[in-house]
Amino acid sequence: MEKVADKANRIHPDELADAYTEITADLAFSQSHYPDSRITIYLNNLSSSLHNEIYRNKKEKWTRIITFWTDEMPRIIYSARRELLISLLIFTVCALIGIFSTASESDSFSRLILGDQYVDMTLDNIAKGKPMAIYGSSTQLPMFFSIVFNNVKVAFFCFTMGIFTSIGTGIMLMQNGIMIGTFQTFMFQHGVGFQSMLAIWLHGTLEISAAIIAGGAGIALGNGLLFPGTYSRLVSFKMSAMRGLKIVIGTVPIFILAGFVESFITRYTTIPAIIRITFILLSLAFIIFYYIYLPKKKYHERIKT
């Protein structure tokens, strides 16, 4: 690896990226098990050198696009697994707060969180026997572009809020978690809980998962400032910013697919329940595979080599 670092300016970018991935994997292992050793400091300096060289080199092969999604992204996800878990825990705890608060306070809490106008409109739709009518209230294509743009914008905002020591990202996760818990409980209280779950989670499995992942990217950004480790704070921030940015970019295709489903499919509430449940489970399986199984598999493959 020292030879690679010494000849970095003469090595192909793909080889340099592979070497950097190996170094950062070794560094993560060393920081976990031998945080105060000389080898950790050595690997830290070596990875910093390669990092600086990689991002000065702009030449990329078209195959880089494929390896980004199949190899680099899973490795980045694994390196940020703690931040992603924290994001999931914050969202889950806040969703539970929304559930229990709505169950105990009923109408007053749901109106506080969802707003009087939305609650009244939903109650009117329930009375008409069309609780999910809101999804058919807009033209499909404009709705698709609006949803995707808004979700991607919110995801990047959630990420950049990590600059404020992760607190800003945490607040956004809290708001979304409470809102989801409140809405779902509200629908169950009015006898349309199962119907609402089939509609909402048809697109929400992907959409909400991507929002949680974007939250993890924001927490990773904030942690780079708060906990620089053996790096200088500036270098730690740059590395965490790049890592977090790649993670949040990885959510864009998920938001696009979720927006498509919400705009073009969710409105058809007459689709058999078994088909919708199957799609929900397939969406969940994809999230588990790509964001849990594959990153762990890639990590163990790197350790073995």
**Predicted pLDDT of residue 6:** 43
Same domain as 24, residue 151: no
Distance, in Å, from the CA atom of 139 to the CA atom of 21, rounded to the nearest integer, reads 45
pLDDT tens digit sequence for 155-181: 999 999 988 778 889 999 999 999 999
Rounded (10°) angle between helices 140-160 and 193-226: 30
Q: What is the pLDDT of residue 55?
A: 60
- When divided into structural domains, the chain yields a total of 2
**Domain-embedded: residue 115:** yes
Q: Is residue 304 part of a domain?
A: no
Quick check: 102 pLDDT over 70? yes
Please report whether residue 239 resides in a domain. Answer: yes
Neighbours of 79 (CB within 10 A): 19
Residue 257: pLDDT over 90: yes
Neighbours of 67 (CB within 10 A): 15
Contacts 24+ apart (CB under 8 A), 50-57: 50/4, 50/5, 50/8, 50/16, 50/19, 50/20, 50/23, 51/20, 51/235, 51/238, 51/239, 53/5, 53/8, 53/9, 53/16, 54/13, 54/16, 54/17, 54/20, 55/242, 57/9, 57/13, 57/16
> For residue range 46-65, what is the model confidence (pLDDT) as tens digits?
777 766 666 654 455 566 78
Same domain, 130 and 241: yes
Quick one: CA dihedral 176, 73, 240, 157, positive or negative? negative
Q: Which residue has the tokens 């914008």?
A: 153
Per DSSP, the three-state class of 233 is helix
73-88 tens-digit pLDDT: 999 999 899 999 999 9
Q: Is the pLDDT assigned to residue 294 strictly greater than 70?
A: yes
pLDDT at 276: 95
DSSP string, 55-89: TT-----THHHHHIIIIIHHHHHHHTHHHHHHHHH
Task: Indicate if 163 and 255 belong to the same structural domain.
Answer: yes
Asked whether the predicted pLDDT for residue 269 surpasses 50, the reply is: yes
The confidence band for 301, taking pLDDT boundaries of 50, 70 and 90, is confident
Q: State what percent of residues in the chain have pLDDT above 90.
A: 54
Confidence of residue 223 (pLDDT cuts 50, 70, 90): confident
Are both 13 and 125 inside the same structural domain? no
Sequential DSSP letters for 117-134: HHHHHHHHHHHTT-TTGG
Lowest mean pLDDT among 24-28, 95-99, 114-118, 248-252: 24-28
The structure tokens listed for 196 are 């609402």
Phi, psi values for residue 224, rounded to 5°? -65, -30
Q: Do 27 and 139 have their domain in common?
A: no
The model's confidence at residue 119, banded by pLDDT at 50, 70 and 90, is: very high
The verdict on residue 73 lying in a domain is no
- 204, two tokens: 């929400």
What is the residue range of 174's domain? 81-294
Do 42 and 89 fall within a single domain? no
